[in-house]
Amino acid sequence: MTFPDRRLRRLRRTPAIRQLVAETRVGVDDLIAPLFVRENCENPQPIESMPGVMQHSQESLKEEVRQLRQLGVTGIILFGLPERKDSVGSEAWNPDGVVQVALKNLRDEHGDGLVAIADLCVDEYTDHGHCGIVTSSGEIDNDATLELYQKTALAQVEAGADMVAPSGMMDGQVAAIRQALDANGHELTPIMAYSAKYASAEYGPFRDAVDVTIAGGGNRKTYQQNPANAREAIEEIRLDVAEGADLIMVKPALAYLDIIYRARQEIDLPLAAYHVSGEYAMLKAAAANGWIDGLATGIEHLTAIKRAGADLILTYLTREVAEALQ
């Protein structure tokens, strides 16, 4: 059947009809809010490059999570800003460290009504800004770093994390963490692996948010993925699944919709995508200049990510979109 008998505009005539036949829907259940908590901070500190996002105190974090829960958001992921840093990032597994304190507070208040995910890496905690142990020759010691991740995972779960999310892109990190959790009675704690995490230019505002500078002007290209590669991403995902990942993630999202789509074709595990700080900052900057409708564009971004195949979206737009969906 062709025109004039077939008219696709019939199903676009009214907002109600368009909503009824929409193929992709973004809801609050799809969203995970990334939140930053700073040690020994009395008042929340705005992040200049991420308008509307804060470095929280423990008290302001609790209030932010209360408001998110009232909006129907159940998922958050925590990033910590410690007062003290060292060469191995030892505050990452300190039982009294900033994220562990936050997890205990949130677990006490919300119980199982909140899915509290702990980002698992040490870059926020190291004085050199890398995601692992740096050798005397300047290399990242992959296997020695895995021991740090194991200790951090245990500290986070014992503090109340429902899920850990290793983001350091060390080979074998999922297997090492799974082994440590299982050996200590945490067989039911899931791992959300940052499986396809690219060495993107879009992380700058995030590094402002967590006060991280890589020593000597370095980068993470020896462990994060080359943005030119797609097949490599699928191999990373397969390896993480084989090592015991329960969910996998693609990061960033918008420039990697093809990776999200291919991952969805390859695996049946829950698939997350991270709408990263640079994507958020560009949207906010354009909206502030009146060049775009920020909220409408943000929802379009998230819809595209979900349409590509993501089940879950980590986004700094979580609160704004949840309010709009009320």
Is 268 part of a structural domain of the chain?
A: yes
**Band of pLDDT at residue 138, cut at 50, 70 and 90:** confident
Q: pLDDT value at position 129? A: 82
Q: 199 is in which domain, residue-wise?
A: 24-324
**Band of pLDDT at residue 210, cut at 50, 70 and 90:** confident
The structural domain count of the chain equals: 1
Is 70 part of a structural domain of the chain?
A: yes
Q: pLDDT value at position 221? A: 84
Q: pLDDT value at position 220? A: 86
User: pLDDT for 111-122, tens place per residue?
Assistant: 999 999 999 999
Q: Which residue from 55, 263, 249, 258 is spatially nearest to 168, judged by alpha carbons?
A: 249
pLDDT at 213 over 90: no
| CA separation for the pair 11, 20 (Å, rounded) | 9
Query: In angstroms, how far apart are the furthest CA atoms of the chain?
Result: 73
Q: pLDDT value at position 200? A: 95
**Band of pLDDT at residue 130, cut at 50, 70 and 90:** confident
Q: pLDDT value at position 189? A: 98
Cβ count within 10 A of residue 127:
14
Contact between 220 and 46 under an 8 Å Cβ cutoff? The reply is: no
Place of tokens 């564009």: 297
Question: How many angstroms separate the Cα of 86 from the Cα of each of 37, 83, 119, 244, 248?
Answer: 19, 10, 19, 30, 30
Q: pLDDT value at position 161? A: 98
| CA separation for the pair 176, 114 (Å, rounded) | 26
User: pLDDT for 140-173, tens place per residue?
Assistant: 899 999 999 999 999 999 999 999 999 999 999 9
Beta strands 75-81 and 31-38 are parallel
Lowest mean pLDDT among 43-47, 207-211, 309-313, 314-318: 207-211
Q: pLDDT value at position 277? A: 96
Is 5 part of a structural domain of the chain?
A: no
Contact between 240 and 278 under an 8 Å Cβ cutoff? The reply is: no
Cβ count within 10 A of residue 34:
22
Contact between 160 and 107 under an 8 Å Cβ cutoff? The reply is: yes
Q: pLDDT value at position 141? A: 94
Is 7 part of a structural domain of the chain?
A: no
pLDDT at 72 over 80: yes
Q: pLDDT value at position 144? A: 95
By residue count, the chain amounts to: 326
Place of tokens 């390859």: 266
**Enzyme catalytic residues:** 197, 251
Beta strands 115-120 and 45-46 are unpaired
pTM above 0.85, yes or no: yes
Is 45 part of a structural domain of the chain?
A: yes
Q: pLDDT value at position 303? A: 98
User: pLDDT for 263-308, tens place per residue?
Assistant: 999 999 999 999 999 999 999 999 999 999 999 999 999 999 999 9
- Phi/psi class of residue 175: alpha, beta or left (left: φ > 0; alpha: ψ in -120 to 50)? alpha
Dihedral pair phi/psi, residue 103, rounded to 5°: -60, -45
pLDDT at 13 over 80: yes
- What do you get for the CA distance between the two ends of the chain, in Å? 40
Instruction: Give the CATH number of the domain where residue 242 resides.
Output: 3.20.20.70
> Mean pLDDT across the stretch 165-194?
97
pLDDT at 212 over 90: no
Place of tokens 């105190």: 57
Is 48 part of a structural domain of the chain?
A: yes
Is 4 part of a structural domain of the chain?
A: no
Is 139 part of a structural domain of the chain?
A: yes
- Give every CB contact of residue 103 below 8 A, 6+ residues apart in sequence: 78, 116, 118, 156, 159, 160, 161
pLDDT at 218 over 80: no
Half-sphere exposure of 140 (CA within 13 A, CB side): 25
